[in-house]
Amino acid sequence: MNDKIWLRYTINADLYRAFGRKVSKKQKFLMLFNLINQGPKYISYMRLARYHNIRNNKLFAKFFEFLIMRMSVKYGVEIDYRTEIGEGLSIPHFHNITIAGAATIGKNCTILQGTTIGSNLFKARYEAASIGDNVLLGAGSKIIGPVVIGNNVTVGANSVVVHDIPDNAVVAGSPAKVISYKPAVKINQDYKSYEDFIL
């Protein structure tokens, strides 16, 4: 897989999820400098930092890391750009989000404000959650420890997840428990597949 094409595809998928449409090159450029759409901007900086870090372009990687740090301090968001996150990441409300670098997140994940994905010091200090595809993490939700969250899961607002969650589940509470079984709501996920994108 070509890293450069994958970078373009991933950023396009992220922006499609944010805006519900294909974003032009001009709009992408302007987004990097405006004072709105902070979530998509931060995600794009993360993708670029990760790409340049993998390619060992240290100067560019440090530049985007600097931009990420500025936004992190301003908005209270802490996501390590080296975290493994699939395409189609959406952060609609960009405030007070912390994600451990050891976490893995599948494609089309929606993360709302106040979410924390962290470790459990009593179980595994350097391990964090593995989160599947099409997962919605509600406002104020906490994912604690090396739990596995399946595909198509909805985590309710202010829920505290400390156990594994199966596919197609809706969970709520502290500790979170399954309250029903149905797929998560799909928002702006009809973007091109990677195979169609490279044609």
CATH code where residue 163 lies: 2.160.10.10
Catalytic residue positions, numbered: 93
- CA–CA dist 178, 63 (Å, integer): 43
- CA–CA dist 135, 189 (Å, integer): 12
Query: Does the pLDDT at position 122 exceed 90?
Result: no
If one counts the domains in the chain, the total is 2
The 10s digit of each residue's pLDDT in 26-52 is: 888 877 777 678 999 999 999 999 999
pLDDT value of residue 31: 76
> Model-level pTM?
0.92
The 10s digit of each residue's pLDDT in 148-189 is: 999 999 999 999 999 999 999 999 999 999 999 999 989 999
Does 43 lie in the same domain as 106?
A: no
Query: Does the pLDDT at position 137 exceed 80?
Result: yes
Query: Is 145:119 a contact under the CB 8 Å cutoff?
Result: yes
